[in-house]
Structure 1
Amino acid sequence: MACYNFAVGYRRPTGDCLACHRRVPLRDGYCRLCWCQARLDRAADAESARDRTVLAPYVAEVRYHQLFLADLYRPHAPPPTTPRQRGAKGRRPQQAPPVASRPSPDSAQLMLLTDLPRTYRRGNVDLRSTAPPDNPWLAWALHLAWTTAEAHGFAPNVRYALNRNLIMLLATHADGDLVRVSQFHQFCRNGGGALVHVIDILSAMEILVDDRPAVFDIWLGTKLDGLAPAIAHQAERWVRTLHDGGPRWHRREPASAMAYFNGTRPALQIWSASHDHLREITRDEVITYLAGLHGEPRMLALTGLRSLFGWAKRNSVIFQNPCTRIWHAPRVRRIWQPLSDNDIAAALRAADTPPARVSVALAAIYAARPGQIRALLLDDVDLGNRRITLAGRDLPIDEITATVLREWLDHRHSRWPRTANPHLLISKETALRTGPVSAGFIPNLRRLATTLEQLRIDRKLEEAISCGADPLHLSVMFGISATNAIRWATNARQLQAFSAPHNPTHSD
């Protein structure tokens, strides 16, 4: 599997290549191998440099392929023909654009035809030497882009991509016109053109229409595939009621709605093979399906089926609820086991980057959850006084944590010296914004027997055993509720009971 930085540049729509007829990602109707082969054919066939500028006739005639190494087939730029001017280091810096604001709607001509599809073409405009097109809306956008880049410390390549896309979108913009994301989303994304920042600027100007399909809708469409039509229709209505809310239904979080449907989908797939509607499903079939599940999967499936059939009964979709008087099995909580020294050592060796070492230290020493680590701010860390504020608790910083925090802060300052993000952990994406890193940024120590969650559990078990399974001490130490503290204390007592040697029975 290719890494993200490599694969994102080749994320194109999939289809049948017009030359080799393979079903692969395409650019302008042809695959990447055909474009590479056409470039070689053109170089061998063209007699002059002027003939080498036309590539389309050659790609249509490709019938075979050479072997190309990724990112090594592009020609290198020719060496400079003029000597560099001495006395100034690097290129001339870009000057700040003139201050601009929303154009006045006076004497503006109304749009006769609206919602027409737009075709955009990328152009190379260097604002250091060339003036942008004369358009008041573009001048306002470039001013907003400049202030945003200065506030967040954008790199020169991000500034260039942002200005280039704004010029492409707003060079001919008129009052009353709207820019639709669907018409430039793929174009900017394939070109690596600061899509998120373009959307932010256009949203601030209130001329953007985000008509992209919602991620939840795309996910739901894939999950409904394979179900009977009537069952899929009713299941979609139920999931959308959970997601959007409705009469006498509170809106659930998207993750909760997705979890409910994921728990019921296997049962709906089985029943779709022999039933056409939800009202045909009987109580015995529900009991038979649940009999094959145990533990958390059974609890999740029964909870989802109760919600589905309860909704169907209230909306007169079914006559009788088949989940009535089907109860959850008694929940048996697992007994958490402490980690071995080898597992902890393997986790420490796997943390080979500064952010990974910070995450492992906070999880193993302070029992911090990944969400709490992501939410940490720079103001929460006081290395001078050796204090850290974690989830609202003011805690002392030990020597190990102070070392990894100091290492990360040095790396953070050298890598992103001008970032305005207030969070402790940042990435190359969030360094240009103000939000926390994503859940995937926190290392989960793949291919190891130890994860951050297990390190957090091991830390609480160690504290529970060392304090004599005192719930009050655990509640104060980790800031957890009384119920949660009692659970950890009970777990510690069970571990102590299992590890204690049994006294042999003496007989007289």
Structure 2
Amino acid sequence: MSRYPKGYRKPTDSCDGCLAWGDFSGRLCPACYMFGRSHETAACADCRRIQPLKWGYCRLCWCQARLHAKASAGRPPAEADVRARLNAVRHHQLFFMGLHYRRGSAPVVARRGGGRGAVRKPPPAPAWRPSADWRQLPLFGQVPRDYGRLDPADADLASPWLAWAKYLAYQLAEARGWGRGIRFAVNRGLALVLTGYVEGDVIRHTEIFAPLRALDLRFGHVVTVLEEMGIFEDDSEPSFEGWLAERLEGLAPAIRSETERWTRVLRDGGPRSLPRREGTVWLYLNRVRPALLEWSNRYDHLREVTRDDVLAYLKTLHGRQRHDQLVALRSLFIWAKRNGLIFRNPTIRIKVGQYEYAVLQPLAPAEVDRSVAAATTPATRLILALAAVHAARVAQIGTLMLDDVDLGNRRLTIAGRVRPLDDLTLKLLLEWLEHRRNRWPNTANLHLLINNQTATKTSRASNHWISASMRGQDATLERLRVDRQLEEALTHGPDPLHLAEVFGLDEKTAMRYADSARSLLEQAAEQQLRRNQLDRDIPRRE
């Protein structure tokens, strides 16, 4: 909230963060305000001021390093060039607010507005894809363009492609609730990448990523508009490729090649196998990697690995670790035998064994109380209730939609199963919906839980964000979910059919909860029997 009373017009002042002089409300300019929301406060490694830091430096030092890099390169620098100059900052050139990223000569005067009485900018005129009667074919094919040398101040604002892009951006902004800042950044980015565009050109990810990020423009939103236009090509390297190359590092060349083929078959599927989830592929390769690294010191191919090698390696493992790695190794060697890469499967007739699950234990009241105290926002309180009361998984919480909530009939649909809304969950749900309506009134995201990143999109919140508030607690969301299902088994009896009906568990999981509840009940009965026996023996001794 502003420190000034309602109706008071704050005079022109300098920002407490970047020292920029300008016309803004509060003590920070908009750029420093947004910078501080996403970075932790500490002492800057250069100017020693207590400010929000990005990689150890405050925003003022970042601005000065960017100014030096721009003067040396003659164009907007990449972030790597700016980071290389942070240690060389010895003075600070003060600037006016709103002029730091402008590369033209004409100054920009910040306008007040945005309130109820402000005049809203009219929407762009309707525009469609320009019709191309003829076009000049490129002489040397598709030559990569250097968008970093273009200046938005010199953009071709009369381009019909830019007019069409701005019209599409306006429609997307209205549909998805983009704010004023996002709309301005998207239009500026479109003016940059569509300057000089002609029919048939393709705008690629690798060409525009660095220039847009160097100007702090909305890369993802600009790409959304370009994809809507059908002129964007994502040529970036998937994260899976970088992870795979890192995991295969250190293996013998032939073993590396064979393991890479097996990993890709797991992910993409094959003639006789279905594709697996990417998380399963990660687990399998991580589990076989230690054994393959050890064998790469002695062998060049998988066909040289013998049964004795597998048994010797498994002797160093115990419990769940032995079980998981043996399952992954069997998958690798079965695939290799099926494709003729080895003569004999060395893992054949090595029993995996039935993994013995430990008895599930209920949470202590103090552990639950600490997790409840850590839930301080409407979103985290609702997430806690969904896990602790309705035993919802993190992924199920993230995929909940607004249509899954029926307030009139007090019903909540989780993973396709309709559940009644208790008083606590209903109260927390109403608090969250009120907060959601006030915080993001124009969002078009239909997911129940949203944040600053997903409010302007249609995607769900990440599992990391959902579980962040309980991370580090003894009672995490997963343990709260398990505790709720165990409590149901203890209260209504260890009946796996009842657990499967209430929570939608499969038969093996329901039987595991029932066995744990039965063991806990038997232990409680034995303890009570011992106490009763002790109470009877004490009077006899007296």
Q: TM-score, normalised by structure 1?
A: 0.82
Give the secondary-structure state (helix, strand or coil) at the position aligned to 1:395: strand
Higher mean displacement: 76-85 or 207-216: 76-85
Q: 1:397 to 1:82 in 2, by over 3 A?
A: closer
What one-letter code is carried by the residue in structure 2 that aligns with 1:236? E
Matched, 1:111 2:138: yes
Who is 2:38 aligned against?
Answer: 5
**Can you list the C-alpha shifts for 1:204-225, whole angstroms capped at 9, x where unaligned?**
2221121111111111011111
CA distance in 1, matches of 2:144, 2:192: 15
Q: Identify the match of residue 424 of structure 1 among 445, 448, 451.
A: 448
Report the AA paired with residue 180 of structure 2: P
User: Relative to structure 1, is the Cα distance of residues 78 and 379 closer, same or farther in structure 2, using a 3 angstrom cutoff?
Assistant: closer
* Residue of structure 1 in register with 2:388 after alignment: 364
Q: What residue ranges of structure 1 are gaps of 5+ in the alignment?
A: 8-23, 26-31, 43-52
Instruction: Kindly indicate whether the alpha-carbon contact (under 8 Å) linking 2:155 and 2:192 is maintained by their aligned counterparts in 1.
Output: no
Distance 1:467 1:207, change over 3 A: same
Q: Are 1:95 and 2:101 matched, yes or no?
A: no
Considering only aligned residues, what root-mean-square deviation do their CA atoms show, in Å?
Answer: 3.6
Once residues 333 and 158 of structure 2 are traced to their aligned partners in structure 1, the CA distance between those partners, rounded to angstroms, is: 61
Q: Tell me the distance in 2 between the aligned counterparts of 1:63 and 1:478.
A: 54
Structure 2: distance between partners of 1:74 and 1:217? 44
Q: Does 1:77 align with 2:63?
A: no
Confirm whether residue 464 of structure 1 aligns to residue 464 of structure 2.
no
State the 1:296 CA deviation: 2.7
Asked if 2 retains the 8 angstrom alpha-carbon contact of 1:152 and 1:433, the reply is yes
Compared with structure 1, are the counterparts of its residues 171 and 95 closer, same or farther at alpha carbon in structure 2 (3 Å cutoff)? Answer: farther
Other-structure match for 2:303: 279
Correspondent of 2:477 among 452, 461, 467 = 452
The alignment partner of 1:442 has SS state of helix
In 1, the alpha carbon distance for the partners of 2:244 and 2:330 equals 20
Matched, 1:213 2:237: yes
* Alignment partner, residue 498 of structure 1: 523
Offset, 1:480 = 2.5
**Aligned-partner Cα distance in 2 for 1:237–1:291:** 28
> Is the contact between residue 239 and residue 261 of structure 1 (CA under 8 Å) also seen in structure 2?
yes
| Residues 123-148 of structure 1: CA deviation (Å, up to 9, x unaligned) | 456xxxx9962222222211111100
CA 1:39/1:431 → structure 2, altered by over 3 Å: closer, same or farther? closer
Whole-angstrom distance in 2 between the partners of 1:63 and 1:424? 42
CA distance in 2, matches of 1:172, 1:182: 18
Pick the aligned partner of 2:255 from 231, 237, 255. 231
Deviations, residues 24-77 of structure 1 (Å, cap 9, x unaligned): 99xxxxxx979847979x9xxxxxxxxxx95679x99x9985679xxx986453
Q: Identify if the C-alpha distance between structure 1 residues 467 and 176 changes in structure 2 by more than 3 Å, giving closer, same or farther.
A: same
Deviation at residue 452 of structure 1 after TM alignment:
0.4
Deviations 1:133-175 (A, max 9, x none): 2222222211111100011110111111111111111121111
Q: Distance in 2 between matches of 1:54 and 1:287?
A: 64
The count of residues paired between Structure 1 and Structure 2 equals: 464
Aligned partner of 1:296 in structure 2 is 320
Amino acid aligned to 2:499: L
Unpaired stretches in structure 2, ≥5 consecutive residues: 1-34, 41-53, 75-80, 100-106, 538-542
User: C-alpha deviations, 1:476-498, integer Å up to 9, x for none?
Assistant: 22232344333222211011112
* CA deviation profile, 1:189-240 (whole Å, cap 9, x unmatched): 3433222222222222221121111111111011111112221111111111
Matched to 1:270, the amino acid is E
Match of 1:392 among 402, 412, 416: 416
Structure-2 change in CA distance of 1:277 and 1:83 (3 Å): closer
Provide the rounded CA distance (Å) in 2 between the counterparts of 1:196 and 1:81: 26
What is the one-letter code of the residue matched to 2:130? P
CA apart distance, 1:83: 12
Task: Name the CA distance, whole Å, in 2 between partners of 1:194 and 1:262.
Answer: 35
Taking the aligned partners of 1:77 and 1:116, their CA distance within structure 2 comes to 38
Alpha-carbon spacing, 1:354–1:73, altered in 2? closer, same or farther (3 Å): farther
Choose 187-196 or 346-355, whichever is displaced more: 187-196
Query: Within the alignment, does 1:355 sit opposite 2:416 as a pair?
Result: no
CA–CA distance in structure 1, aligned partners of residues 66 and 189 of structure 2: 29
Give the structure 2 partner of residue 189 of structure 1.
213
Q: Decide whether the 8 Å contact of 2:152 with 2:192 is kept in 1.
A: no
Q: 1:176 to 1:397 in 2, by over 3 A?
A: same
2:365 alignment counterpart: 341
Q: Is the 8 A contact 2:155 2:191 kept in 1?
A: no
Match of 2:498 among 473, 477, 492: 473
For 1:140 and 1:222, the matched residues in 2 are separated by 43
1:45 alignment counterpart? none
- The aligned residue for residue 102 of structure 2 is none
1:230/1:483 Cα in 2 relative to 1: closer, same or farther (>3 Å)?
Answer: closer
Aligned-pair CA distance for 1:252: 2.0
- CA 1:54 to 1:468, structure 2 compared with 1: closer, same or farther past 3 Å? closer
Task: Name the SS for the 1:388 alignment partner.
Answer: strand
Structure-2 change in CA distance of 1:194 and 1:336 (3 Å): same
* CA apart distance, 1:94: 2.7
Equivalent position SS for 1:262 = helix
CA distance in 2, matches of 1:82, 1:293: 68
Secondary structure at 2:455's aligned position in 1? helix
Q: Return the letter of the residue paired with 2:501.
A: V
Matches within 5 A, 1:154-165: 154-165=178-189
Question: Within 2, Cα distance between the matches of 1:255 and 1:91?
Answer: 50
Contact 1:38 1:55 (8 Å CA) reproduced: no
- Relative to structure 1, the CA distance from residue 442 to residue 99 in structure 2 (aligned partners, 3 Å threshold; closer, same or farther) is same
Q: Give yes or no for the alignment of 1:312 onto 2:332.
A: no
Helix, strand or coil: the match of 2:413?
strand
Contact 1:271 1:281 in 2 (8 A): yes
Report the residue type matching 2:295 in the other structure. W
Aligned-pair CA distance for 1:472: 2.9
Distance 1:54 1:81, change over 3 A: closer
Q: CA deviation at 1:442?
A: 0.7
